[in-house]
Structure 1
Amino acid sequence: MECMAAHHRCEGRGREHAEATRHLRSAWHLDHFQRDLSGAGLSVGTAELDRYAAETALDVLAAERRIVFAMHNTHLRRTPVEHEGAFGLFPAGYHLAEALGDDYVAIAATSIGGRAVEGALTPDGLETREVPLPPLEPDCIETAFTGDAPLTIAALGPEFGAYRKVRTEGDFMAAPIFRAFNAIACVPTTTT
């Protein structure tokens, strides 16, 4: 596909060829991701998914003035995900922040309580289920939000450095909150 790009551009099919190449590249990334989930591939977690998501967002941004890139907080964060694996887990937000600098604004979405959808690997694939959110932990960013406003958004500054966790599905994710996100949007309750 890559070596035929010039030929297709000369034939007036450059745009169509570029789109087909993007689709093929997405299948390649998805194949790596699925192989990892099944235990048959390189153990790179969501690195393939995140890299492709960032590439796609940057492709769209090349034609648009701005975009809203909506993904799970883990994938939006600007910093690598801490884990014990052999490979680094660099979320889409990390790649976007590298490419866009301060033009990439990561806004985490969270809630004080309620319910969430959580994914679990089974022999048949990825299963989703509804789970109640656990009580707040002392060092989670959600404890910074008080009151019953329907939505609160906080721009993050150094004073938020003491918070070390944010909700992720039905649990909390450790993260350097001040560096990982530019802002937090919090609602009192989420439902599925």
Structure 2
Amino acid sequence: MVAGERCPRRKSGCAAVDALTAALARLLLRLRAEEPRYAARGGQERYDVARRRLEAACHTDALFRAVHALQSGRGDAGDLAIRESFLAESVHWHLARSAPGTRLVVVAHNNHIQKTRIDFGGPLTTLPMGHHLARTLGSDYRAVAVTHTADHVPEMVLDARRTVGFTVADTPLAPPEPGSVEAALIDAGLGGRITLTDLRRPPRDTDGEPLPNRIRSQSATLATPVPAAFDAVLATPTVTRDPSVPF
């Protein structure tokens, strides 16, 4: 929800959400202003962790507002980058507190680690964490995508009855699109094997554009220059959901 727009919920609900946002903002400003006193009392490390957690709460609140506005047809997809920039900043936060030469392994969805923007050809376009990290870390950042060649995939389905707002349902898939990572693996007879594909020297199409130019993203297909988005792709022939996760 943005300032000045009509609240789609009851006024009491909107007031509670606005009060939470305001309280988080005031608390963060106070924590920053009182850093010397808090650090002297509990130690700099404990202060730094507390501040980062509060910053996470503020970013989460802003993201939920952005997602609600977008789903309601009033938001800007660019606002979804609020989460992505915070994730990238968190990587730098941990690096700054690690010994020289430390390497971090960040496990996240392909759409978060990719270096190119997220664009499904519609309104959902944002700059992911990987784009920010590639911009700041350069060649020190390596992104390895994960995909599969199965004919189905667990997919997130919006469900207001769930506490997390969605459920997970097994969804059938069409054959991989031409030009995709998955189609290339199947055409090469590698669809039934676990593979790791190096994308640093990719082939090119007749127009000189790098291939592949598509990769699966859950039940959708993301059109992007895959070698620009990732350094390698790990593919498996199967995909399953974790039955212990109560979605």
Structure 1 match to 2:220 = 171
Q: Is the 8 A contact 2:194 2:234 kept in 1?
A: yes
User: Is structure 2 residue 170 aligned with structure 1 residue 130?
Assistant: yes
- CA shift at 1:96, angstroms? 1.2
The runs of 5 or more residues in structure 1 that have no matched partner are none
CA RMSD in angstroms comes to 2.3
Residues 60/52 of structure 1: CA separation in 2 closer, same or farther (3 Å cut): same
Of the structure 1 ranges 134-143 and 123-132, higher mean CA displacement relative to structure 2 is found in: 123-132
Deviation at 1:61, TM superposition (A): 2.4
Which residue of 1 is the match for residue 63 of structure 2? 33
Q: Which letter maps to 1:120?
A: V
Contact 2:133 2:141 in 1 (8 A): yes
- Percent sequence identity over aligned pairs: 28
Equivalent position of 2:133 in the other structure: 96
TM-superposed CA distance for 1:6, in Å, is 2.3
Query: Once superposed, which parts of structure 1, at least 4 consecutive aligned residues long, lie more than 4 Å away?
Result: none
Q: What is the aligned partner in structure 2 of residue 140 from structure 1?
A: 180
Q: Are 1:13 and 2:57 counterparts?
A: no
Q: Report whether the alignment pairs 1:78 with 2:115.
A: yes
Q: Give unpaired runs (5+ residues) of structure 2.
A: 1-30, 205-209, 242-247
Q: 2-side partners of 1:45 and 1:56: how far apart?
A: 18
Worse overlay, 52-61 or 93-102 = 52-61
SS of the aligned residue for 1:46 comes to helix
- How many equivalent residue pairs? 191
| Conservation of the 8 A alpha-carbon contact between 1:32 and 1:42 | no
Scaled by the length of structure 1, the TM-score of the pair is 0.87
Query: For the residues of structure 2 that align with 1:181 and 1:89, how far apart are their CA atoms?
Result: 17
Distance between the aligned counterparts of 1:14 and 1:26, measured in 2?
18
Q: Contact 2:148 / 2:237 at 8 angstroms: preserved in 1?
A: yes
* Greater Cα radius of gyration, structure 1 or 2: 2
Contact 2:182 2:191 in 1 (8 A): no
State yes or no: 1:151 paired with 2:194: yes
Quick one: which amino acid aligns to residue 155 of structure 1? D
Structure with greater contact order relative to length (CA < 8 Å, sep ≥ 6): 1
Aligned partner of 1:7: which letter?
A: R
